[in-house]
Amino acid sequence: MSSSAALDASGVRPHADVPSRLLVTVRTGDPDLPGHRLYRHVGFLACRADGYEFVYASRDAFRPLLGFPDLQARYTSDEIFPLFAQRIMNAKRPDRARYLEALDLDEQSEPWEVLVRSGGRRAGDTIEVLPEPVIGPDGATSCVFLVHGVRHCGPQASAEICGLSAGDSLALRWEEDNPVNPRAVLVLNNSGTELGYVPDPLVEYVQTVMTASEARLSVVRANGPEVGSHLRLLVRLDGFVPVGYQPFPAPVNPGP
């Protein structure tokens, strides 16, 4: 594996505000709704002071991920596991600077930061990672994520995203009649134009923030259509959740 995928020299992640754990999800088809995708949370990928760790979130029967055959094992490595390292754009790619700019990152960003921001998506692949929300002891919480489903919202959404700037406020709305996920949450601009959706694995967390307090959603980075629909809109959610709230179930084998 390339050394560029390893931890920095100090052995710790570079910035305290970068989530240290990612949700690993797999997109699957919905037999009742052709063309729609469902997201299944299958595991956790963590960046720790002494390396990296992967554990499954459930023992439920499904096809294990490549390189992780045992659903009950705790996997550790000094470097990012190959399955995830290959999802980080190579530093030698000529378009890397533009890619990092679209993610609101700079050339000095560590591989883990790039994976956190990008979601690790690859063409023709079903695996995607999402940042675990940061939650403080007082319930204060934040999460930065890419808005999903922009292309399904049509040309008006695309045009409106082009007019957004960092720091602009956005709105959230529960779409109860959504045929795929009745808990789906829409992302809208201040004029009410639908721009996309909260990623399905984050919906329960986002609705908790919406219920517990006034959620604040803002633009981190808005990009043009040349970057592809999945990178069009990067947002940040701030708010509060009940003290002690955990957005996701504990992993099968959390380790020591």
pLDDT in tens, 154-195: 899 999 999 999 999 999 999 888 777 778 899 999 999 999
**The two structure tokens encoding residue 193:** 């134009």
DSSP class of 252: S
* pLDDT mean over 205-232: 91
Residue 103: its pLDDT value, please? 94
pLDDT digits (tens, 9 = 90+) for 61-106: 578 999 999 998 999 999 999 999 999 998 888 889 999 999 999 9
Residue 31: its pLDDT value, please? 40
Tell me the C-alpha distance between 24 and 29, whole Å. Answer: 17
* pLDDT mean over 18-46: 74
Tell me the C-alpha distance between 194 and 181, whole Å. Answer: 16
**Whether the predicted pLDDT of 224 surpasses 70:** yes
Residue 79: its pLDDT value, please? 94
Find where tokens 């809208």 sit: 188
Instruction: Note the helical H segments in the chain.
Output: 82-85, 96-102, 111-118, 154-162, 203-212
Q: How far is CA 112 from the centre of its chain?
A: 13
> pTM of the predicted model, to two decimals?
0.85
Tell me the C-alpha distance between 71 and 59, whole Å. Answer: 6
The DSSP bridge partners found for residue 24 are 43, 129
**Whether the predicted pLDDT of 1 surpasses 50:** no
Tell me the C-alpha distance between 104 and 121, whole Å. Answer: 17
Residue 73: its pLDDT value, please? 92
Q: CA 27, 63, 45 angle in degrees (round to 5)? A: 65
Question: Are 106 and 218 a contacting pair, CB within 8 Å?
Answer: no
Strand 185-188, strand 194-197: pairing: antiparallel
**Whether the predicted pLDDT of 56 surpasses 50:** yes
* pLDDT mean over 105-123: 90
Q: Which carries the bigger pLDDT value, residue 218 or residue 57?
A: 218
Residue 6: its pLDDT value, please? 36
Mean pLDDT for the chain overall: 85
**Whether the predicted pLDDT of 256 surpasses 60:** no
Domains of the chain: 14-240 (3.30.70.2330)
39 closest CA partner among 184, 153, 174, 176: 184
